[in-house]
């Protein structure tokens, strides 16, 4: 019966160049993730210039894999089938364009909801609300949309408004990671500027430079004895299976202004110095991971010994330079591993942010060295499927971070594509990240820092998790504000001690409270909570 037959892949073209996927790209996880990276530019860009320059890049010999068609072999492996010549019928890049040039961005029902920077740390929106802007008509949303069509792996969708342009790149995760995307966008900008000859040659186009990684370990991984056993994995799966698979997720975008990050970092460095740490070094990412994880577990009992595993993705290109990778050529593929920090819920409630941040930095530094990368990948190869290694117990609360700051997506200058010539650079004012159909719960992407020093954090969580955290912090503030007939500074001290609010945020709350001439605690508490927590998104 014909209706029992599955979809059919297009007939293979004999002249196509066939290249198998690299070993790291051939992951069951990457197969399930289609990525959409939407950039908002507050100027009118030429869609044809955007498309043609991207096609120029992908037409370069060592970049042609991005224009390949995805096909599956008889033994279920994936291959790129690259047209001998790109043409109108078989283009290098998938392209779609929606014209709203008769409408201002803020007058459009969806575009008007795109998040804008906040003057304080705040949840500013839901990136999934803009998915219809990021995904054009017929855009791919699963691997089947590639396997059973003749679409190229890389796609471009442009939405034009009277005063702005939305530019979305979309690809399947098997193509590359965030640092690979950095190289791609850099090459694209060079093509926009007419500097085709400056586009760098890419390494690893037709061979796998990481094929031997993990096959020659010289030492055990530092966390090898805390790797989840089969029993622990089963228990973890039973406890979290619904959230990992079919459970509803929620996505939130958080904006953290530069003044707040600077204050957090300065205080953390001072705390470590006071504690006797010599020349302490912390990145903003270390501090953000520590601070945000504390918020993420704030709804759990303060004295809980429940294990928490913080998994931080890290690019391995620098680690592998001079060994498996060349330092002077981009590598547009997947090349990242994970550092893991194992603590407890109690640690995040009781230890200062500076201590957690320092432990995060230590874990990354130790687990990024060449020998440890080899040891980690050896564990991956020893698994039933090439998936990230899980550490902890069956009761572990797993939270993952991926820091895209070094990809500098906000730093790409698109002024060369502006319809009206510009004398100044044109950077994205907002970048949204969407992924379909798989969304890992309790996963956070540090999208990067914009030109105004705002840091953007995108979080995927089990539905209702964000509300739990907001409600917990609101409740603590409400109780401190309602039940203590004390002067504002005393209340602020109580709030600091209760929920570990950073002094800068406490001062912000204090300044608001001081504007209330006749405070009626119960009536004003909700307004104060809303200002602090931004619960309305």
The per-residue pLDDT for range 325-380, each reduced to its tens digit, is: 999 999 999 999 999 999 999 999 999 999 999 999 999 999 999 999 999 999 99
Region 441-461: mean pLDDT is: 92
- Band (493; pLDDT cuts 50, 70, 90): low
CB 514 within 8 A of CB 488: yes
Residue 537 has pLDDT above 50, yes or no: no
pLDDT for the residue 265 = 92
Region 414-437: mean pLDDT is: 94
pLDDT for the residue 536 = 33
- Band (3; pLDDT cuts 50, 70, 90): very low
- Band (1; pLDDT cuts 50, 70, 90): very low
Structural tokens at position 438: 């798989």
pLDDT for the residue 478 = 47
Residue 508 has pLDDT above 50, yes or no: no
Residue 523 has pLDDT above 90, yes or no: no
DSSP state of 10: P
pLDDT for the residue 18 = 98
CB 338 within 8 A of CB 313: yes
- Band (129; pLDDT cuts 50, 70, 90): confident
| Bridging pattern class, strands 94-100 and 69-72 | unpaired
Distances (CA, A) of 497 to 110, 262, 294: 41, 21, 14
CB 178 within 8 A of CB 402: yes
Region 450-468: mean pLDDT is: 85
| 470 vs 178 pLDDT, higher one | 178
Question: Can you state the angle between helices 178-192 and 47-59, rounded to 10 degrees?
Answer: 110
CA angle 237, 389, 448 (to 5 degrees): 100
Structural tokens at position 529: 């909570």
Residue 300 has pLDDT above 80, yes or no: yes
Residue 49's CB is within 10 A of a number of other CB atoms, namely 16
Percentage, residues of the chain above pLDDT 70 = 84
Closest to 56 measured CA to CA, from 167, 190, 205: 190
DSSP state of 418: B
- Band (534; pLDDT cuts 50, 70, 90): very low
| 190 vs 129 pLDDT, higher one | 190
Question: Can you state the angle between helices 284-296 and 353-367, rounded to 10 degrees?
Answer: 120
Closest to 15 measured CA to CA, from 86, 78, 95: 86
Residue 180 has pLDDT above 90, yes or no: yes
Closest to 484 measured CA to CA, from 525, 537, 430: 525
Closest to 317 measured CA to CA, from 341, 336, 304: 336
User: Locate tokens 């094929």: which residue?
Assistant: 211
For the stretch 52-105, pLDDT in tens is 999 999 999 999 999 999 999 999 999 999 999 999 999 999 999 999 999 999
Question: Can you state the angle between helices 503-514 and 521-533, rounded to 10 degrees?
Answer: 140
In SS3 terms, 229-257 reads as CHHHHHHHHHHHHHHHCCCCEEEEEEEEC
Closest to 449 measured CA to CA, from 310, 261, 303, 274: 261
DSSP-H helix ranges across 220-343: 230-244, 258-274, 284-296, 317-320
Q: Which strand ranges, in their side-by-side order, compose the sheet holding 430-437? A: 94-100, 155-161, 165-172, 33-41, 430-437
The neighbouring-strand residues paired with 309 are 342, 398
Rounded distance between C-alpha atoms, residue 294 and residue 342, angstroms: 14
Rounded distance between C-alpha atoms, residue 184 and residue 169, angstroms: 10
pLDDT for the residue 400 = 96
Rounded distance between C-alpha atoms, residue 79 and residue 22, angstroms: 9
Structural tokens at position 156: 């471009």
Residue 476 has pLDDT above 50, yes or no: no
Residue 515 has pLDDT above 80, yes or no: no
Q: What are phi and psi of 242, to 5 degrees?
A: -65, -45
Phi/psi region, residue 204 (left: phi>0; alpha: psi -120 to 50; beta: rest), is left
pLDDT for the residue 469 = 62
Could you tell me the pTM of the whole model? 0.88
Lowest average pLDDT, out of 39-43, 338-342, 344-348, 497-501, goes to 497-501
Q: What are phi and psi of 125, to 5 degrees?
A: 165, 180
pLDDT for the residue 52 = 99
- Band (470; pLDDT cuts 50, 70, 90): low
User: Locate tokens 């790291």: which residue?
Assistant: 24
pLDDT for the residue 513 = 43
Where in 292-419 does DSSP place strands (E)? 307-315, 336-344, 397-403
Residue 454's CB is within 10 A of a number of other CB atoms, namely 23
Residues designated as active site: 173, 413
Rounded distance between C-alpha atoms, residue 522 and residue 17, angstroms: 70
The neighbouring-strand residues paired with 252 are 459
For the stretch 409-422, pLDDT in tens is 999 999 999 999 99
Task: Identify the H or E element spanning 379.
Answer: helix 370-381
| 427 vs 136 pLDDT, higher one | 427
Structural tokens at position 324: 């498996």
Give me the DSSP letters along 386-409.
S-PPPBS-TT-EEEEEEE-GGG-G
Q: Could you give the dihedral angle defined by the CA atoms of residues 288, 289, 291 and 297, in that order, rounded to the nearest 10 degrees?
A: 150
End-to-end, the C-alpha distance of the chain in Å comes to 49
- Cβ-based neighbours of 477, under 8 Å, separated by 6 or more: 495, 499, 509, 525, 528, 529, 532
pLDDT for the residue 2 = 41
């Amino acid at each position: 019966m014909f209706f029992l037959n599955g979809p059919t892949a297009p007939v293979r073209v004999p002249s196509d160049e066939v290249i198998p996927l690299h070993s790291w790209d051939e992951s069951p996880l990457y197969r399930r993730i289609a990525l959409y990276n939407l950039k908002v530019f507050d100027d009118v860009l030429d869609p044809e210039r955007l498309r043609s320059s991207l096609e120029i890049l992908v037409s370069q010999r060592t970049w042609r894999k991005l224009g390949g068609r995805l096909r599956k072999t008889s033994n279920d492996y994936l291959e790129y089938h690259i047209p001998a010549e790109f043409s109108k019928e078989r283009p290098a890049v998938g392209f779609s364009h929606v014209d709203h040039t008769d409408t201002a961005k803020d007058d459009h029902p969806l575009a008007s909801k795109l998040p804008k920077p906040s003057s304080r740390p705040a949840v500013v929106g839901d990136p999934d609300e803009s998915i219809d802007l990021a995904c054009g008509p017929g855009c791919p949303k699963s691997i089947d949309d590639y396997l059973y069509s003749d679409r190229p792996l890389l796609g471009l969708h442009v939405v034009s408004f009277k005063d702005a342009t939305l530019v979305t790149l979309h690809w399947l995760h098997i193509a590359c990671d965030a640092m690979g995307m950095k190289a791609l966008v850099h090459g694209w900008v060079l093509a926009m500027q007419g500097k085709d000859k400056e586009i760098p040659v890419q390494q690893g186009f037709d061979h796998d430079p990481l094929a031997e990684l993990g096959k020659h370990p010289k030492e055990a991984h530092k966390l090898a004895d805390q790797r989840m056993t089969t029993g622990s994995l089963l228990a973890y799966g039973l406890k979290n299976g619904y959230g990992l698979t079919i459970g509803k997720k929620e996505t939130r975008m958080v904006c953290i202004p530069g003044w707040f990050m600077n204050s957090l970092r300065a205080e953390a460095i001072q705390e470590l110095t006071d504690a006797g740490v010599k020349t302490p070094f912390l990145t903003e990412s270390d501090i953000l991971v520590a601070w945000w994880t504390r918020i993420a577990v704030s709804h759990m009992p303060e004295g809980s010994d429940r294990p928490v595993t913080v998994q931080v993705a890290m690019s391995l290109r620098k680690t592998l330079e001079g060994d498996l990778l060349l330092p002077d050529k981009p590598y547009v593929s997947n090349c990242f591993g994970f550092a893991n920090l194992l603590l407890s819920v109690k640690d995040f409630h009781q230890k200062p942010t500076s201590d957690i941040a320092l432990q995060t930095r230590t874990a990354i530094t130790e687990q990024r060295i060449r020998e440890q990368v080899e040891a980690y990948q050896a564990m991956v190869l020893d698994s039933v499927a090439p998936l990230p290694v899980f550490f902890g117990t069956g009761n572990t609360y797993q939270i993952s971070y991926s820091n895209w700051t070094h990809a500098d997506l906000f730093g790409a200058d698109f002024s060369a594509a502006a319809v009206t010539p510009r004398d100044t650079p044109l950077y994205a004012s907002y970048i949204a990240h969407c992924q379909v159909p798989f969304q890992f719960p309790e996963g956070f992407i540090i999208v990067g820092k914009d030109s105004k020093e705002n840091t953007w954090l995108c979080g995927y969580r089990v539905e209702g998790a964000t509300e739990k955290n907001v409600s917990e912090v609101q409740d603590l503030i409400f109780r401190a504000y309602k039940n203590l007939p004390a002067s504002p500074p005393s209340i602020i001290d109580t709030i600091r001690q209760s929920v570990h609010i950073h002094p800068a945020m406490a001062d912000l709350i204090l300044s608001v409270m001081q504007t209330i001439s006749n405070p009626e605690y119960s009536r004003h508490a909700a307004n104060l909570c809303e200002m602090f927590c931004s619960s309305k998104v």
